[in-house]
Amino acid sequence: MDTEVAIIGGGPSGLLLSQLLNRAGVATVVLERASRAHVLSRIRAGVLEAGTMALLQEAGVAERMMREGHPHAGCYLTDDDLMVRINFEELTGKSVMVYGQTEVTADLYAAQEAMGATVIHGVQDVVIDGADTPAPAVEYTLNGERKRLTCAYVAGCDGFHGVSRKTIPAAKRQEFERVYPFGWLGVLSRTRPAHEELIYASSGHGFALASMRNENLSRYYVQVPLTDKVEAWSDQRFWDKLRACLPGDVAAAMETGPSIEKSIAPLRSFVSEPLRWGRLFLVGDAAHIVPPTGAKGLNLAASDVFYLYQALISAVKSGDTAGIDGYSARALTRIWKAMRFSWQMTTMLHQFDGEDSFAGQMRKATLKHLSQSETARRDLAENYIGLPY
């Protein structure tokens, strides 16, 4: 056996799983299709739940996050009439951390390198062999040479388009999906954030999100049709749209500038069950996708890692398979709760094609209810900061 756990995918979930396993004395090999530079160039979400922060601390990679991250004790939900603050600390006693996924990944790469963990980049044509046997293996091509990695277990952390989920026979899995009829046009700019906390805006001009990476780097989104092309959106058109969606006083004071990254992301909810087939386990986007509205993507992957790393340690170290036998059910329980919250936030904040006037009034009534009900605000806050593992 070449390693104890083969991990397919060198993004944050694969690296975090490798980090936690290696710290417990379980050997891993991480296989990643892209280069390290490409992985670190991906612009992704940046809101970390309390549980994700705790897991990063357990993994020994939280020092820079705690030093450079930005704790947020709340967020705002707005429409054309109201601006409602959800006070996380007051309602739950916890907060979230704004710290970019790219930074989390960089910290994990540095920690893996420091401990001498094996991360192989540039692999192609990955095939998982014998996942339903006691002796699985992963075959791949590296620099034109075909290689075979034998292992005790395989963790599929290779995303929605990876090979891991597709390795599970179609007759053995069930998939659930909702594709939303719009996307998010996102812009990154070297400007001061519009507000010290995130603003989720549901306006007559559509949805917008005002977020940030740090005090001089802002991340903004507006709702656009899926048919739109990035090229059709000049910086000026984007800023005009964003200002129209945000509360007037916020829009008036907002600093604008040239975009340094601009892209359109489609929104979907997706779950594949089960998360285990034999000795293959799905983690993160390989098993589920959430719309970004509730900031659950990376955090949901982290909770998968939490359940799986403990189970694998028990299986490898003591032969106790109770954890891996229960991994799929435990992870899916939390996954579906996060799916519900992300779907709820998406429905509450976005305009849908062909909707009637009733839908807009329901959005306004929901926000009004949040403004008047501490119970409603607490429910939102508990889900936003992250349900317990």
* Catalytic choice (72, 195, 288, 350): 72
The reply to whether 72 belongs to the active site is yes
Assess contact for 168 and 158: CB atoms under 8 A. Answer: no
Continuous H helices in 197-354: 235-245, 248-253, 297-318, 322-349
Query: What would you report as the CA-atom Rg of the chain, rounded to the nearest whole angstrom?
Result: 21
The reply to whether 258 belongs to the active site is no
Q: The tokens of 226 are what?
A: 């899926």
* Catalytic choice (193, 221, 292, 350): 292
* Catalytic choice (291, 296, 327, 350): 296
Continuous H helices in the chain: 12-23, 36-41, 50-58, 63-68, 88-92, 101-115, 163-167, 235-245, 248-253, 297-318, 322-349, 357-372, 374-385
Closest CA to 299 of 28, 161, 99, 23: 99
The reply to whether 288 belongs to the active site is no
Cis peptide before 274 (omega within 30 of 0): yes
The reply to whether 229 belongs to the active site is no
The reply to whether 99 belongs to the active site is no
Residue 370: C-alpha distances to residues 197, 244, 279, 366, 378 (Å): 18, 23, 45, 6, 9
* Catalytic choice (76, 140, 200, 309): 200
Cβ contacts of residue 259 below 8 Å, gap of 6+?
Answer: 187, 188, 189, 235, 238
Assess contact for 4 and 26: CB atoms under 8 A. Answer: yes
User: What does DSSP assign to residue 134?
Assistant: S
Distance between terminal CA atoms of the chain? 32
Q: CA torsion sign, 188 to 193 to 198 to 204?
A: negative
Integer Cα distance of 375 and 372 in angstroms:
9
Continuous H helices in 59-194: 63-68, 88-92, 101-115, 163-167
Active site residues: 72, 200, 292, 296, 384
